[in-house]
Structure 1
Amino acid sequence: MPEQPLLTKDGEPPSVSEQGRGTAPRPTGPRTTRRIARLLPHTGRALGPWVVPLLALVVWQVTAQTGVLSPSVLPAPQAVLRAGTDLAATGDLQRYLLTSLRRIAQGFALGTATGLVLGFAVGMSKPAEVLLDRSLQMVRTIPHLALVPLMIAWFGIGEEPKILLVALGTFFPVYLNTVTGIRGVDPKLLQLGRSYGLGRWALVRDIAVPGALPTILAGIRYSLGVAWITLVVAETISASDGIGYLAQDARQMLRTDQIVLAIVLYALAGLLADFLTKLIERRVLRWHPNYRRPSAP
């Protein structure tokens, strides 16, 4: 008995396109599953770092609303946000931020440049190590914030002590990591470069710097945090602007909301600095397997 053809609702045979659609359905299920599986790791990496801050913000909001924490102890997030918008409306918040960023940029640039130069000199030269390293290690044991009275006596209460304190706090992490990174370069690579006829500067540029770069960038990343910690103290030295001055003035006026605002601004500035450092690491260390972006499965 011959097979009867399929008919449509109108009693007519289906067209060629309808037959194709009917006989060859598109496998959308597995493809969609694979696409979701590829997106899940990227979504987890993007949202994962924000879980703890958001949870802390929720706990802060709940404890403030329920009265567990008094507003004089820790004001609600809305009060802190209101304090920030009020200062931004007068232009004071922008001025404080720009002043602190300028001090950080100047002190960090000075401390990092000095640490890199001396670190490469001590790491690459035995006479420089004998001449400089022990003296620098003695100075490193002195807490740089203990030098605040001496800085005021030398330079007054202007910008110089603030910038120099930030530079001093930045210098030693960069210096130590640079020396450690240079000494951690495989001597066989340096010997191989000499056998190929590379001069001293070519050895530094092509072998020593790439080999020490991960350790140097780790020191720079750490020194950024030390720079912001130092600035908190430095901006309390008879300052008339800056985030530290905002916190100091709010303490005298018993404005807890502005004190918390200054703390939040310091945290956000540190987060931004760390984010920028990570971007530089990814770009500069693209050749390093530990700094490559994970590929999609």
Structure 2
Amino acid sequence: MLDRLALLVIGECVADIVREPGAADRVHAGGSPANVAYGLARLGRSTTLLTQLGQDANGRLIRDHLASAGVRVRTDGCGAPTPSAAVTLDDAGRATYTFEITWSLAPVTPERPAQHVHTGSIAAVVEPGAGTVLATVEALRATATVSYDPNVRPELMGDHTEAVRRVERCVALSDVVKASDEDLAWLYPSEAPEKAAERWLRSGPAVVLVTRGAEGASAFLPGATSSVAAVPVPVVDTVGAGDAFMSGTLHALAAHGLLGEGGRARLRSLDTGTLGDVLRHGAASAAVTVARAGALPPDAEELAAGLTRAPVPKA
């Protein structure tokens, strides 16, 4: 374990049933927050996942998958079936999703105090569990830094106006926010992603990151930006790429002492050089993931190798 920084991820686990032309269905452990927790643990970070899992075959598969990386799993014991998603891949490896999900997370007290909390995706917008997620983040924010990734799933977001309100409330509670250009296009169809990111930045976060798939990623600070190109790799599929970017980013922020106690103040004085290193870690982590099947983010050795191929960010 790298250090004693306690990371808490709150959100859904999903059994991804992957379908592609000419191949038999494959089941992978997934769910955006679960993928982030798994990625952090594979990088040596002390990580707990607060989630909802059923006592079924998919639930057992996901528990075993998370345990293999060292993730501590806390559940609310509600007994609801494990959520699932049919993931259809096209010939270029791009994924589309069809969900079968209920999210009714009940309050659970973490086993140890969290120094950083990450949440997002379905967990932060689908009721009744979203209320628990928001209340937990609000309670922990006084002593922990917070990160958020909306990971928009349009078919589960409900009313657009209400979804935007929920997302913006989570953004305002967060220190670090990551969104894809597709997320922002759905949330704000008449606004350029850069403008939306800059507006979010003014609402509370210290840094907002925008991923653009094969076009790389950008980060926004008050008065400064930094961008990095995507690492060139052959793409097998894009499942979990954004989550791997998030875990790589959080890993780098922790390494720079920007999470946990005192992290919020240090994030407010983040320089573009450090931010560029953080972006490289996110890009390298995503590149490792898209080069193989499923949401399988890198371990520390694989990330180090990926960083040797990562482009230098541009301010």
- TM-score, normalised to structure 2's length? 0.23
Which structure has more relative contact order (CA 8 Å, sep 6+)? It is: 1
Higher strand share: 2
Q: Which structure has the larger Rg over C-alpha atoms?
A: 1
- TM-score, normalised to structure 1's length? 0.24
Higher helix share: 1
